[in-house]
Amino acid sequence: MTSTAPSPSWLQRHWFSTVLGVILLLLYGPVLLHWIDGWLNKSISIEHEYFSHGLLGIPYAGYLVWRQRRKWQRLPDTAHPAGWVCLVIGALFYLSGTSEGVNLSLPLVLVGLCLVLKGASGLQLQRFPLLFVALATPNALPYLITPFTLPLQAFIANVAGFVLFQLGVPDLAIEGIYITVQDRLVEVAPYCAGLKMLFTSLYVAVLLLHWTGVARSRFKVGALLTGTVVISVAVNIVRNTILTYLHGMGYDGAFAWTHEGLGGDLISLGMLLLVVLWLDLLERSSHYYYGEPMVGIINYAGWAQIFGQGEKKQ
């Protein structure tokens, strides 16, 4: 008579991962909720809003980790000494109690765990999820680079003023980063110069590079990032031109809607759409150059079919 031992449950087989996940959730769950609240309700600071792309990037990083879980499990258990250094520094940052320290501790702890649990191979496997988390972690970088944005602010102010002059806007004056229309002053501040939109567009560009697999081509990476910067600056020139006109001509309601309301969000969405279209154009141009079918990242025929069916139903 033989007896078969019951197979261990999922919790028994993955008890360490479960405990580790619970600890991370207890430590950083409130932090992430605080970030999300600040991004959605703009309740923390302007600098914090510069990292609102984390609403896209952090869930995508989690998806990548989940998709690579079996590869992670197959890696040998080996610890790298640098992992302990990262964990100690991350713990000190967390225990500092400062907002900046607690925020920066998250990527440090995650890097440390990868190195301690799976060594350099684990860090290599999770490099993109870690990158997306690190680039979405709120820090003082926007505040530190603000003094260096003055040339960009002046450039946008002068181009916006030139466009308004060509449109025949009355009583127009430009001085540095200030535009005056009918004695109503508009300042092209660092935030208005599009730093936040530039951060977001570059982040989305990097995310698209990974998602589409285009990151393997150095030319496409350079072309996409360069085009993204150009798109961001151009969109912000248009945005500041519109804002200056609305404020100078006394359309205060429309100014508020465009500056801090839904209008501003729609402009940002349009900018991100242009980044996607630019990547699609790069893909199609590359295939055309090599004599291949002009396939991009967007299936225009599929979208046309969907909208065509919707029109038929109506």
* DSSP codes of every residue in 273-307: HHHHHHHHHHHHHHHHHTT-----SS-HHHHHHHH
Indicate the angle between helix axes 54-67 and 15-41, nearest 10 degrees.
160
**How far apart are alpha carbons 265 and 200 in whole angstroms?**
12
**How far apart are alpha carbons 75 and 121 in whole angstroms?**
7
**How far apart are alpha carbons 123 and 129 in whole angstroms?**
10
Domain boundaries, the chain: 10-139, 145-304
Residue 229, judged by CB atoms within 10 A of its CB (0-12, 13-18, 19+), counts as middle
127 and 95 Cβ atoms separated by less than 8 Å: no
Map residue 180 onto helix, strand or coil. strand
Question: Is the alpha carbon torsion for 130, 136, 141, 147 positive or negative?
Answer: positive
Which residues in the chain show pLDDT less than 50?
1-3, 5-7, 10
Q: pLDDT (tens digit, 9 = 90+) per residue, 192-233?
A: 667 888 889 999 999 998 888 887 788 889 999 999 999 999
Which phi and psi angles does 44 have, rounded to 5°?
-110, -70
**How far apart are alpha carbons 56 and 12 in whole angstroms?**
33
DSSP state of 79: -
